[in-house]
Amino acid sequence: MTEQLAILQVVIPLLAAPLCLIISRASLVWAFTLLTNTLCFVISVLLLNQVLDHGPIHYALGGWRAPIGVEYRIDHLGAYMLLIVSSISWVILLAGKTSLAAELKEKKQSLFYVIYLLCLAGMLGIIATGDAFNVFIFIEIAALASYTMIAMGKDRRALTASLSYLLVGTIGATFILLGIGLLYMATGTLNMHDLSERLANLHDSRTVVTAFAFFTVGVCLKLALFPLHWWLPNAYAFAPSVASAFLAATATKVAIYILLRFVFTIFGMEFSFSVLPLQNILLALGLVGILTASTMAIYQQNVKQLLAYSSVAQIAYMMLSLGMNNPNGLIATLLHLFNHALMKGALFLALAAVMYRIGSVQLKHFHGLGKQMPFTMAALVVGGLSLIGVPLTVGFISKWYMLTASLDNGWWPITVIILVGSLLAVVYVWRIVEAAYFKPAPADAKPVKEAPLSLLIPIWMLTLANLYFGIDSRLTVTVSELAAKSLLGGAL
């Protein structure tokens, strides 16, 4: 059984998805989805243990050996990402039943879970696979599923948001495909490990450079690196709350994973950073992204859009750290993959609770919520403090490594800009705090009760995780260091 874990990780949700159609009642479908997700989570834990004990796992699909057959390759980074995606997805699903019941009709809920499982399968597949074209297939599966999930939102603007995401996402995926195709043309193979060996000699080839260019632009569209981010705020704002939480916590992280995999494993660090100006691009776009997105977050009235712009800024942070081209920077990016997933997962779930109770996430409707929904607002405050990077939260750990990385390079101005980003975060987080705690509820508003336990428990699971991993960071730091080491080829 344990040898098949790698493929089971992807196959279980993939097969479970259509099975949902057989069950008709929404609560049963939810239970089934939760069960599937539990299995995925268990498998990801087992895989991480296996990788920590024995090193990277190679699994040949159908017994066909690489490089002809499709290979699944799970190393430290992959196992870490699988754990992140499956665990956060599980917690978010816990909140799913109550939240979705308020936002979707009964029939649509079952369909939602089908799409959710497909999206999950797609993302897990992206991470687990060791074949370049297989990655593209799973990218498309995950993407199409996310477009559908977003389109199911209650608000009519969900359709246009989904459509613009679809257009942008398809362009991105096509660019990625073009990149992969050009790589195939240059090397004759699609297996990632094989590609890395053959590409080592092809640094001068124009085909390879073009492949890199197409691939990078494509993946940057997917991960919403400024200025290719404009699809994200609307997509997160108008999707069903559970979908927003899930996508905010996982989709862009998986896209960053793809970037890391291609840049470090396939193209190789030397090519990407020394031969091509990837470092400058990441630094420049990262810096501008942090400042611009944080500033735009300050002016948003819809709290989901506020947090979406905040996500764009956090992604820019991760790209900036990557652009520092030193071990601490890479560790910072990897740490932030996990930490940001925790932060945004908690924040968007808290918003799901607000949406559930008052049916809106506009700042002007938050008045008086500090008193009426104390636990939900407290979770929002803790998540906000994590975004700012206050010590004892998970955000501080990432910030510390980013700042150390930039000081390692001796880049004072960039260090200051990272800190200014934190200050901008104080401003937009405090807008939410002030709206919730300082203005009394309007006299004609209906009294609002605290969110039900079925929502509060998942919210606080993620919020407490934010605090726990901010205090005991051993697990995340060790795994990130190992993953960084394996990406850098042991040269730390």
Part of the chain binding other proteins (CB under 8 A), chosen from 97-105, 189-197, 216-224, 386-394: 386-394
Instruction: Report, in Å, the least distance between residue 423 CB and other proteins.
Output: 6
Nearer of residues 349 and 394 to other proteins, judged by Cβ? 394
Instruction: Report, in Å, the least distance between residue 422 CB and other proteins.
Output: 5
Judged by CB under 8 A, which of 313, 315, 385, 484 binds other proteins? 385
Instruction: Report, in Å, the least distance between residue 285 CB and other proteins.
Output: 23
Within its chain, how far is the Cα of 373 from the centroid? 28
Judged by CB under 8 A, which of 42, 200, 416, 453 binds other proteins? 416
Judged by CB under 8 A, which of 189, 252, 325, 422 binds other proteins? 422
DSSP 217-231: HHHHHHTT-TTS-TH
- The backbone region for 58, taken as left when phi is positive above 0, alpha when psi lies in -120 to 50, beta otherwise, is beta
Distance, in Å, from the CA atom of 248 to the CA atom of 337, rounded to the nearest integer, reads 11
For 277, the 3-state DSSP assignment is coil
Q: How many residues bind other proteins (CB under 8 A)?
A: 29
Which structure tokens are listed for 228?
């290719």
Q: Is 295 in the site for other proteins (CB under 8 A)?
A: no
* Phi (first) and psi of residue 410, to 5 degrees: 75, 20
Q: Is 21 in the site for other proteins (CB under 8 A)?
A: no
Judged by CB under 8 A, which of 185, 419, 445, 453 binds other proteins? 419
H-type alpha helices, 104-222: 106-128, 132-151, 157-187, 192-199, 206-222
Instruction: Report, in Å, the least distance between residue 482 CB and other proteins.
Output: 13
Judged by CB under 8 A, which of 52, 392, 488, 492 binds other proteins? 392
**C-beta neighbour count of 343 within 10 angstroms:** 31
Nearer of residues 270 and 472 to other proteins, judged by Cβ? 472
Instruction: Report, in Å, the least distance between residue 432 CB and other proteins.
Output: 13
362, β-bridge pairs: 302
Q: Is the peptide bond between 227 and the residue preceding it cis, with omega within 30 degrees of 0? A: yes
Instruction: Report, in Å, the least distance between residue 276 CB and other proteins.
Output: 30
Within its chain, how far is the Cα of 430 from the centroid? 24
Q: Note the residue count of the chain.
A: 492
Residues 423-482 that bind other proteins (CB under 8 A): 423, 426, 430, 434, 437-438, 470-474, 477
DSSP 348-416: HHHHHHHHHHHS--BGGG-TTHHHHSHHHHHHHHHHHHHHHT-TTSHHHHHHHHHHHHHHHTT-HHHHH
* Phi (first) and psi of residue 367, to 5 degrees: -55, 130
- Residue 311 burial (10 A CB sphere; 0-12, 13-18, 19+): buried
For 71, the 3-state DSSP assignment is strand
Distance, in Å, from the CA atom of 128 to the CA atom of 105, rounded to the nearest integer, reads 34
Nearer of residues 240 and 470 to other proteins, judged by Cβ? 470
Q: Is 106 in the site for other proteins (CB under 8 A)?
A: no
Distance, in Å, from the CA atom of 313 to the CA atom of 232, rounded to the nearest integer, reads 12
Distance, in Å, from the CA atom of 262 to the CA atom of 250, rounded to the nearest integer, reads 19
Q: Is 397 in the site for other proteins (CB under 8 A)?
A: yes
Instruction: Report, in Å, the least distance between residue 420 CB and other proteins.
Output: 7
Nearer of residues 64 and 438 to other proteins, judged by Cβ? 438
Instruction: Report, in Å, the least distance between residue 277 CB and other proteins.
Output: 28
For 60, the 3-state DSSP assignment is strand
Nearer of residues 251 and 388 to other proteins, judged by Cβ? 388
Instruction: Report, in Å, the least distance between residue 488 CB and other proteins.
Output: 18
Judged by CB under 8 A, which of 196, 210, 415, 454 binds other proteins? 415
Which structure tokens are listed for 297?
């977050």
Q: Is 403 in the site for other proteins (CB under 8 A)?
A: yes
Instruction: Report, in Å, the least distance between residue 392 CB and other proteins.
Output: 6
Interface with other proteins by CB under 8 A: which residues? 385, 388-392, 397, 400, 403-404, 407-408, 415-416, 419-420, 422-423, 426, 430, 434, 437-438, 470-474, 477
